[in-house]
């Protein structure tokens, strides 16, 4: 191999490694097994629904067949993109919620939560009650 080919291969390797390092940092909808499956399904159904609705409405309006097909394809693409955006937005929140739940369950008791009666046990008296026999004025 020539020096130019070696340099080109080295640049390709660096670009490939750099892209993978950026994609794997932090939580990702694409890396979540259920999320990626659900997003694919939503995109498919969004495209089919957009195509079908536009084709039906265009047919009912008496649009020529060529225009009907074009409108249906465009509406299918719009439905595909809209479903993708909605599914990714929803799953982004769900992935973050799952991570929060995993962190909370792993750490045990949450120090930010103040229990209502942490000291009350089987024999402990509540701190807000007056002592017994504390009647005044007789």
Instruction: Read off the pLDDT of residues 3-60 as tens digits, 9 standing for 90 and up.
Output: 666 665 655 555 555 545 455 567 888 888 889 999 999 999 999 999 999 999 999 9
Q: Are 58 and 68 in contact (CB under 8 A)?
A: yes
Q: Is residue 128 scored above 50 in pLDDT?
A: yes
Could you tell me what percent of the chain has a pLDDT over 70?
59
- Supply the pTM of this predicted model: 0.58
Domain locations in the chain?
38-103
Q: Are 126 and 116 in contact (CB under 8 A)?
A: no
């Amino acid at each position: 191999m020539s020096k130019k080919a070696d340099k080109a291969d080295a640049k390709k390797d660096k670009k490939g490694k750099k892209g993978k390092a950026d994609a794997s940092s932090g939580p990702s909808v694409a890396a979540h097994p259920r999320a990626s499956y659900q997003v694919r399904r939503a995109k498919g159904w969004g495209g089919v629904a957009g195509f079908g609705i536009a084709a039906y409405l265009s047919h009912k309006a008496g649009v020529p067949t060529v225009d009907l097909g074009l409108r249906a394809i465009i509406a299918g693409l719009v439905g595909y993109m809209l479903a993708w955006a909605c599914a990714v937005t929803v799953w982004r929140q769900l992935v973050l919620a799952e991570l929060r739940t995993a962190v909370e369950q792993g750490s045990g008791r949450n120090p930010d939560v103040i229990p209502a009666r942490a000291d009350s046990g089987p024999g402990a008296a509540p701190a807000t009650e007056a002592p017994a026999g504390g009647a005044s004025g007789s």
